[in-house]
Amino acid sequence: MSENEMGYRGSKSEFNHSVKEQRVDGGWCKKPLHLRCTLMGFERNYQIKIPSKQLYKQYYSTLSKSSLNNKLHPWFITGFADAEGCFSFAIKPDAKSKLKWRSSLLFVIKLHIKDAAILELLKNTLMVGKLRTNGQNSVQYVVESIKELQVIVDHFNKYPLVTQKASDFLIFKQCFEIIKQREHLTDQGLLSLIGLKSSINWGLSDSLKEAFPNVTCVGRPEYKFNGIPDPYWVAGFTSGDGSFHLNIKKSDTNISHRVSLRFSINLHIRDAEVLKGLVIYFNTLNKTSTVVKGMLNQEKQYVSKSDNTVSLAITKTTEISEVIIPFFEEYPIQGVKSLDFADFKKVAMMIGAKEHLTIEGLHRILEIKLNMNKHREW
């Protein structure tokens, strides 16, 4: 599964990578003593088999300890929906209907099956919706009845979306009110729905354009970024769109290796203001920290644009240790990505203790890297 597809839940690599990340096989050569790294391509080519694959597969909850047997914070839900949610609206032919067309609304979140636990917690928190398998490796949380969609609308009215997805919700909400009042069963109500659909997601299908050539299209609601509302929103959004990565590269001397950390978030260019807002937000967490102050003063260093994407990347070890890790310790990541964060934190502590400068430490970090992100067992 591609990491840019909706179902992918591991830490995501940067959008502009044209070559898929390959796993690295590492071994120590004695003559002379050095770490040998070989791109393996496929797991069947590995010189040493992974024990977890030979013995048994362990299934576990990917929810953080703070959320087990509890409910998700409402701002976490909004942040996660900003990253992974979809407001879907369909108008399809229906011969049994008086108007020959049927309208339906869905709020959907699709994830890899290994993250079913977080969708179950979402369902238990909101007390509406259903979980459905979607193919062999994915599951989706779906809310579709008007009664239950009222809960979804009420939630996002109280805890508003932050990204451009807020405009989709405003259109979705207008469609919801029309259907709730049963106006969609009239010619005028149906035309109003079709006009609204022209501005959400993929717009009107060819069949709708052909059937309603004179429909008046509705303009997309104006979007304005209004800042980061709550730390739990950051935790939810990062649980969806954030990435925790380790890099191991040979130094210029070609003798030792350099270990680095990267926390990143990659979005469509239209949400550039959100990433700039995150830099500002991290700056406000601890105004006495010279590390965090530096983040605001050098905003361009953290947010970069390329074609249709925008990226936030934090790579300085001090900023990761003093800002990023403490933040997500207090406001936990949920799902499989919480395991990536745990490994990320472990390596940061090793770097702080300078263990990465030893052969044993470097070998241990390499083993951690080989089992992170999309390579992780579940």
At 306 the pLDDT is 87
* pLDDT value at residue 16: 40
CB 79 within 8 A of CB 162: yes
CA neighbor of 344 nearest in space, from 368, 311, 316, 361: 368
Nearest CA to 301 out of 290, 288, 291, 315 is that of 315
Q: Which residues pair with 259 in a beta bridge?
A: 248
> Which sign, positive or negative, has the C-alpha torsion 305, 240, 375, 366?
positive
Q: Is residue 184 a contact partner of residue 193, using CB atoms and an 8 Å limit?
A: yes
CB 63 within 8 A of CB 9: no
Q: What is the pLDDT of residue 210?
A: 85
**CATH class assigned to 24-58+234-375:** alpha beta
DSSP state of 335: S
Q: What is the pLDDT of residue 231?
A: 97
Which CATH architecture group holds 74-161+165-211? Roll (3.10)
- Burial of residue 97, with CB atoms counted within 10 A of its CB: 0-12 exposed, 13-18 middle, 19 or more buried: middle
CA distances from 20 to 15, 97, 188, 268 (A): 11, 48, 50, 20
Amino acid at 319: E
pTM of the model: 0.79
By CB neighbour count within 10 A (0-12 exposed, 13-18 middle, 19+ buried), where does 353 fall?
Answer: exposed
Predicted pLDDT of residue 292: 47
Tracing tokens 């210029």 back to the chain, one arrives at: 252
- pLDDT for 309 equals 93
Distance (Å, whole) CA 175 – CA 193:
6
Query: What local confidence, expressed as pLDDT, does residue 288 receive?
Result: 46
Instruction: Please report the pLDDT score of residue 298 as a whole number.
Output: 55
The answer to whether 321 and 350 are in contact (CB under 8 A) is: no
HSE at residue 274, side-chain half, CA atoms within 13 A, is: 27
Locate 18 and state its tokens.
Answer: 């044209």
Per-residue pLDDT of the chain (378 residues; tens, 9 = 90+): 444 444 444 444 433 433 333 333 344 443 443 444 443 343 334 333 333 332 223 334 556 655 555 799 999 999 999 999 999 988 999 888 888 999 999 999 999 999 999 999 999 999 999 999 988 889 999 999 999 999 999 999 999 999 999 999 999 999 999 999 999 989 999 999 999 988 887 778 888 888 888 888 888 888 999 999 999 999 999 999 999 999 888 765 555 678 899 999 999 999 999 999 999 998 877 554 444 445 444 566 899 988 899 999 999 999 999 999 999 999 999 999 999 999 999 999 999 999 888 888 988 988 988 888 777 776
Domain with CATH 3.10.28.10 in the chain: 24-58+234-375, 74-161+165-211
Q: Would you mind telling me the total number of residues written for the chain in this entry? A: 378
Gap between the Cα atoms of 318 and 323, Å rounded: 8
Tokens for 6?
A: 């909706």
Residue 207: name the closest of 88, 103, 93 by CA: 93
Query: How far is residue 315 from each of residues 42, 80, 160, 261, 320, measured CA to CA in Å?
Result: 29, 24, 30, 6, 7
How far apart (Å, rounded) are the C-alpha atoms in residues 180 and 89? 14
- The amino acid at residue 10 is G
What does the pLDDT read at residue 63? 63
Written as six digits, the tokens of 345 are 């934190």
Could you give the C-alpha distances from 74 to 18, 179, 274, 295, in angstroms and in order?
37, 26, 19, 28
